[in-house]
Amino acid sequence: MRMSGRYSCAGLILMLAAGQVTAAELLQHNPFKRPMLDGGTQSGGTGDTLTGELTLRATLAAGGSSLANINGKLFHLGDEVSGYRISEINEGSVVLFRNEQLRRLTVRDDKEE
């Protein structure tokens, strides 16, 4: 079985060398690329305006690298969401700030009791 793996690798190298397949065609998805945030940026902070009710789906509390999933989009601490600035990201909750007004979003447990 080890020989077939070597032949597969050699065949792949020959295909690349012959110009039949480009490296971009072989690697359609880079598993190490950072996920897109705020509707297309990787750094966040674009001031995304979300329509409708703000729904917190999940949080990842990791200090300065914390993330919040609001309405299906990922945001960092300090990012702006519909006019609010994210001031805290905790386990299961986010604190938003706008014009001296605080608003807390929490992850809801949608299980029926």
Using CA atoms, how far apart are residues 48 and 22, in angstroms rounded to an integer?
37
Over 70: is that where the pLDDT of 112 sits? no
Residue extents of the structural domains in the chain = 1-32, 34-113
Helix runs in the chain, H state only: 2-18, 23-26
Q: How far apart are CA 76 and CA 86, in angstroms?
A: 8
Q: Is the pLDDT of residue 96 over 70?
A: yes
Q: For residue 102, what is the enclosing H or E element?
A: strand 101-106
State the pTM of this model: 0.56
Helix (H) or strand (E) holding 23: helix 23-26
Q: What is the pLDDT of residue 110?
A: 60
Which CATH fold topology does 34-113 show? SH3 type barrels. (2.30.30)
